[in-house]
Amino acid sequence: MSNGLELFDELGLIATHDERNAFDAVVPPIVQTSLFTFSSYDEMIATYRGEVVRPVYSRGLNPTVRAFEETLAKLEGGEDALGFASGMGAIAATVLTFVKPGDRIVAVRNVYPDAYRLFGTILKRMQIEVTYVDGLDEAAVEKALPGAKLIYLESPTSWVMEAHDVGALASLARRHGALSVIDNSWASPIFQRPLGLGVDLVLHSASKYLSGHSDVVAGVVAGPKTLIDRIRGESLPYLGAKLSPFDAWLLIRGMRTLAIRMKAHESSALEIARRLAAHENVASVNHPGLGNALPPGLVGTSGLFSFAFREGIDLRAFCDHLRLFKLGVSWGGHESLVVPGEVVLAQKAMPNSAQEFGLDPRSVRLHVGLEGTEALWSDLKSAIDAARIA
């Protein structure tokens, strides 16, 4: 089993680029253009006939976006990839390419809340039923699979960090003829490469670790050429959530440091999770690296985890006393963030049941950034001290 470290060399290759850039620039230039012109009628008609593949219009093909897609495909070990204007753009286009009215999807519980809402609104309106299952209960997953068109996975999940045996779930899906899709945003390709575990398509909110600098909203899906070609041909151009050249350029920049950032998030978050688990005011910690061994194929842990306080802590005082941890949604950047569960549940658009994505109102989610373990721990400790109800 790989330990993830061999990816450092691979990433080094990606970072240095195989091809020479225009003007021998060390950084690939941004091809910031909406359209590309032709030098002759013959060249134009040959392109439209499909005899020549070249950029025509940036909603279709753009060289900077293509460079990002090729980099991500390499990292995930896929034949091809497609970039999107957001993670939700990638999720919507991917799922909608492969389902039609009357189909059924199986999804693990606790999926990202906006994916849950997409399933409960647009898919429901299209008469596509979604069955939620416990991804840790393989017998329950197998029971739900017969007749399903697609299984939608997310592991580890992004609120309770439930880590599934992705390879086992993918092989169940294959046995029942269901396409498997996974949201791999939490682990990033540094710590989990689902295509190698037998999953058909892997997608990311590239807004998180792939970017790493909290300055991009983007998404991507990777997998075999046949499946990516279907998304490219059937839904991306018409749903239209195309990644922009500038965002692709920022992602290429961010991915150069992905491997070292992930190692730093991992060690800091694991140490803070351990200290929280031992803290007198903490009831429980959801971090896949504590307790049980990681499931096969997950070779490391990232900076995102959640925990719950015991009674006697004022959540508002805790949040307001934090200095390094900022109150904010999203994650995956250099900065540390905190989100209280009860705040997320106060959101109007929230479905009735918080059950499906495992959100406990007493829980708090932390993203451990790159500020340094001791500084972050001292921030947490003093905020807890200040939040004790006398």
Q: Report the distance separating Cα 371 and Cα 197, nearest Å.
A: 33
- DSSP letters, 281-295, are TEEEEE-TTSSSPPP
Three state DSSP letters for 299-359: CCCCCEEEEEECCCECHHHHHHHCCCCEECCCCCCCCCEEEEHHHHHCCCCCCCCCHHHCC
Active site residue 59: yes
185 binds ligand PLP (CB under 6 A): yes
Phi and psi torsions of 113, nearest 5°? -50, -35
220 binds ligand PLP (CB under 6 A): no
- Residue whose CB is less far from ligand PLP, 258 or 384: 258
Least distance (Å) from ligand PLP to the CB of residue 42?
41
Give the CB-nearest residue to ligand PLP: 87
Residue 208 touches ligand PLP, criterion: CB under 6 A: yes
Using CB under 6 A, which of the segments 21-29, 40-48, 49-57, 86-94 binds ligand PLP?
86-94
Residue 87 found at the interface with ligand PLP (CB under 6 A): yes
Q: Give me the residue label for tokens 């390879």.
A: 167
Q: Which of 86, 235, 301, 363 binds ligand PLP (CB under 6 A)?
A: 86
Taking CB under 6 A as the rule, does residue 80 contact ligand PLP?
no
Binding to ligand PLP by CB under 6 A, coded x per residue (else -) over 151-180, reads -------x----------------------
Secondary element (H or E) of residue 129: strand 129-133
Task: Examine the residue annotation and report whether 183 is marked as an active-site residue of this protein.
Answer: yes
Sheet of 179-183: strands edge to edge?
80-84, 219-223, 201-205, 179-183, 150-154, 104-108, 129-133
Residue 57 DSSP label: B
Residues 102-121 that bind ligand PLP (CB under 6 A): 112, 114
| Distance (Å, whole) CA 333 – CA 287 | 19
Query: 3-state class of 119 per DSSP?
Result: helix
Among residues 28, 156, 219, 245, the one that binds ligand PLP under rule CB under 6 A: 219
* Rounded least distance, CB 161 to ligand PLP, Å: 11
Is 186 strand, coil or helix? coil
Of 94 and 207, the one with the shorter C-beta distance to ligand PLP is 207
- The set of residues, in sequence order, having a beta carbon less than 8 Å from that of 260 and lying 6+ positions away, is none
Is residue 94 a contact point for ligand PLP (CB under 6 A)? Answer: no
285 lies in the site for ligand PLP, by CB under 6 A: no
Residue 208 is among the residues annotated as catalytic for this protein: yes
Stretch that binds ligand PLP, among 15-23, 137-145, 160-168, 203-211 (CB under 6 A): 203-211
- Which residues in the 355-384 window bind ligand PLP by CB under 6 A? none
Identify the CA nearest to 166 among candidates 177, 150, 149, 151: 151
Minimum gap (Å) between residue 16 Cβ and ligand PLP: 27
Nearer to ligand PLP, 112 or 325 (CB): 112
Question: 188 vs 268, which CB is nearer to ligand PLP?
Answer: 188
Parallel, antiparallel or unpaired: strands 337-340 and 363-367: antiparallel
**Region near ligand PLP per CB under 6 A, out of 187-195, 200-208, 257-265, 271-279:** 200-208
Q: Which two tokens stand for residue 173?
A: 């899906």
Residue reference for tokens 């990202």? 112
For the bound state, the minimum distance from the C-beta of residue 314 to ligand PLP, rounded and expressed in Å, comes to 28
The reply on whether position 207 binds ligand PLP by CB under 6 A is yes
Q: In whole angstroms, how close is the CB of 255 to ligand PLP at the nearest point?
A: 15
- Cis? peptide before 156, omega within 30° of 0: yes
Question: Do residues 243 and 68 make contact, with C-beta atoms less than 8 angstroms apart?
Answer: yes
What distances in angstroms separate CA 4 from CA 60, 190, 331, one per listed residue? 34, 6, 22
* Catalytic residue IDs: 59, 112, 183, 208
Residues engaged in binding ligand PLP (CB under 6 A): 86-88, 112, 114, 158, 183, 185, 205, 207-208, 217, 219
